[in-house]
Amino acid sequence: MSESFSHDYGEIIRREWPRVVATLVGDFGDLSEAEDAIQEAVVEALRTWPRSGVPDRPGAWITTVARRRAIDRRRRSNTGRQKAELDLRLRHRLDGSQDPSDVVDDESLLRDEQLRLLYACCHPALAPQAQMALTLRSLGGLTTSEIARAFLVPEPTVAQRLVRAKKKIAAAGIPFKIPPDHELLARTDLVRTVVYLIFNEGYDASAGADLVRAELCAEAIRLARLVAELTPDDAESLGLEALLLLIHARAGARVDAHGDLVLLADQRRDLWDVDLIDQGMMTLDRALRLERPGPLQIQAAIQALHNEPPPTDWEQIELLYRRLLDLRPSPVVVLNHAVALATAGDIEGGLRRLDEPALADQLDRYHHYHSARADLLRTIDVAASALAYRRALELVSSEPERRFLERRLTEVTAGLSP
Amino acid sequence: MKYACLIYSDENDTTANPDPLSKEMETIMAGYMAFGGAAGDKILGGEALQPTPTATCVRVSDGEVIATDGPFAETKEHLGGFYIIEAADLDEAIAMAAMIPHAAMGTVEVRPVIDFG
C-alpha cells in the first residue's frame, strides 16, 4: 500500500467519522465503547480495502463492522440485564430493516445523532479543555496525537483528558440529547463558543513560536461548517462559519518571512486567500438573509469590512462594534470598540473608554489591552505609551507578538530621546 | 440515576444564613418548601446540617480514635445540607439543583451516586 493510498483512506475515514461515531453512540449510548468499536472497524478497513477496493458507502461499511464488533464485545462480557437492554435498543433502531447499515442512510436521523453527540461533547459540565478535545476527537475525527500536536501538549495529557471526559459523560449521566427549546439557544451558543475557542487556539496561538497553527484553524472551520449544517435555521451558526473563514483568509499575510507579526493595515493583500473570502462572504450573505442578527454575524460583518479594499470604513466598523456592545457586552468588545472609535478619528474618546477604571481592572492581565492603549497614546503621550508597551511585553507569551511589541517600544522610545 | 445535591454556602454570609427566627429565613424556608413540592417524590432523602462550629472530625490512627474540633476543611463555603434525588440524566439533575434556594446564595454540587446494584 503506497503512502498516497493510505492518505486517501485516512481522508475517507475522517470524512465519515462524525456520522459513524454519532450512529454508534446512538446504538450503544456510550462514547468510549463506540470509539473502541470504530477503531477496530477502521483497522479492519485498512486491512481489507486495499485488496477489495473502497466500498460504495464507506461510512455504512465502517458502521456495520463497528456495530458487529460492539455487539460481540457486549455479548461476551455483559450481564444478562445489559444484554437484554442492548437487544431491545438495537431491535428498536433497526426495526423493519434487514441490513443494519440502512440506518446510516436516514439523513434526518443522522443529523439528530450528530447533534446529540455535539451537545454532549460541549456540555457545560465539562471543562473547556475537555470540550475542545472531545469535539475534535468525536466530530472532527482527529487522533489523540493530532490533538496533542495542535495544542502543544504531551499526548498522554490529551489521552487522559479524553478518558476523564468520557468517564464523566458516562458516570455523571451527561445525556446524548438535543436540549429542550428553552435551553437550546444557550446550549448552541456554547457549542459555537467551543468551536471559536478551537479556532482561536490556532489563530492566536497562546504560546510557542508559531503565530498561526493553520491546521487547527482549518479544523475549527470544518467543525463550524458541520454545526451550520446541523443547525440550518440558526443564523448565528452561519455567522460563525463566515467569521472564521473571513479571518482565516488573511492568515498567510499575518506573519512575514521572518515569522514576525504583520498588522492588518500593513498586510500584503495579494497574500489573502480570495477563495476563503468568497466563501465567507457567501456564508455571511446566507446568514443575513435569515434576518436574525446576532453577535457572530456582526463580528463577521466587521471582518468583511476589513477585507474591503482601502480606505477601511472605520466609521461603519465603529457602529457595528457599538451594536455588538448592545447585544453582547464584554470587556474585549469595549476594547475593540474603543480602538475602532480612535481609528475612526476620535483618539481621545477611545482612550477615555480604555481608561475607565472598571475596564482597566478587568483587562489588566490582557496584553492586547496594554498594546492597544500604547498604540493610541503614541501621538499623545510618548512616555505613557512606552510604559504601556512595557506592560504588554510583561504579559505576552507568543514569540512573534513579543518581537512586534519590542519593535513598537523601540520606535516610541526613539521619539523620547532628546 | 441517583444524584446527591450537596449544598454549600458561607456561614458568615447573613443573606445565605440569616437568623433562624428572621423574616429572611422564612423566605428561604418557603423556597425549600416550594422545591420539595415541585420535586415531589424525585427527592429520595436529605437533611439540613447544624453549622460547622458543631462539627467534630474523627480519625483513627494506629487503632486510636482521635476526635478534634471543627470541620474538615478551612474553606469559605461549607456543607450545610444535602438531598438525594432521582433524575433521568445530568440535565434534569442540574435543573432540579438550580431550584434549591441556596444555589442562588452559594453553590450546589451535583454528584452521581455510585450504583452498587
Q: Answer whether residue A360 is part of any domain.
A: no
CB-closest option in B89, B110, B112 to A175 = B89
Predicted local distance difference test score (pLDDT) of residue A2? 43
Among chain B, residues having any CB pair with chain A shorter than 8 Å are 1, 3, 87-91, 93-94, 110, 112
What pLDDT, on the 0 to 100 scale, is given for residue A99?
A: 53
CA A291 – CA A166 distance, rounded (Å): 38
pLDDT means over runs of 10, chain A (418 residues): 61 89 91 93 93 92 93 76 63 54 65 92 95 94 87 91 95 94 92 93 63 79 93 95 96 84 89 96 97 96 94 96 95 96 96 96 94 94 95 89 92 76
Domain annotation covers residue B19: yes
Residues A58 and A134 reside in one and the same domain: no
- Judge if A260 and A177 occupy the same domain: no
Question: Which of A280, A311, A342 is at the close of a domain?
Answer: A311
Nearest CA in chain B to A124: B91
According to the model, what pLDDT value does residue A48 have? Answer: 93
Structural domain that includes position A95: 1-105
- State the pLDDT at residue A211: 54
Of B15, A287, A292, nearest in space to A301 by CA: A287
Q: Which positions ≥6 away from A205 have C-beta within 8 Å? A: A152, A211, A212, A213, A398
Residues A242 and A133 in one domain: no
Taking the C-alpha atoms of residue A113 and residue A250, their distance in angstroms, rounded to an integer, is 34
CB atoms within 10 A of CB A97: 12
Range of the domain at B78: 2-112
Same domain for A144 and A91? no
Facing B112 at nearest CB: one of A171, A177, A183: A171
Domain contains B39: yes
The answer to whether A206 touches A398, Cβ cutoff 8 Å, is yes
Residues A184 and A241 in one domain: no
| A327 Cα to chain B: minimum distance (Å) | 25
Whether ipTM tops 0.90, in short, is no
- Which CATH number does the domain housing residue B6 bear? 3.30.70.1060
Count of domains forming chain B: 1
Q: Is residue A254 part of a domain?
A: yes
What burial class does residue A306 get, using C-beta atoms within 10 Å of its C-beta: 0-12 exposed, 13-18 middle, 19+ buried?
middle
* Same domain membership, residue A7 and residue A75: yes
Same domain, A92 and A126: no
Contact check, Cβ <8 Å, B91/A175 = yes
Would you call A171 and B88 a contact, using CB atoms and an 8 Å cutoff?
no
Nearest to A46 by CA among A31, A67, A61, A28: A61
In a domain, A376, yes or no: no
- The answer on A224 and A112 residing in a single domain is yes
Q: What is the DSSP letter of A103?
A: G
Query: How many other CB atoms are there within 10 angstroms of residue A112's CB atom?
Result: 16
- A174 lies in some domain: yes
Q: Residues A245, A251: contact at Cβ < 8 Å?
A: no
Cβ <8 Å between A174 and B89: yes
In-domain check, residue A245:
yes
pLDDT tens sequence across B30-68: 999 999 999 999 999 999 999 999 999 999 999 999 999
Question: B88, A175: Cβ pair inside 8 Å?
Answer: yes
The reply to whether residue A173 touches residue B1, judged by beta carbons under 8 angstroms, is: yes
A125 to B94: CB separation less than 8 angstroms, yes or no: yes
Count of domains forming chain A: 3
- Residue A332 is assigned to a structural domain of this protein: no
**Looking at A311, A331, A350, which one is the last position of a domain?**
A311
DSSP-derived 3-state class of residue A109:
helix
Residues A249 and A214 in one domain: no
How many Å lie between the alpha carbon of A92 and the closest alpha carbon of chain B?
20
The answer as to whether B117 is a domain residue is: no
Q: Is residue A247 part of a domain?
A: yes
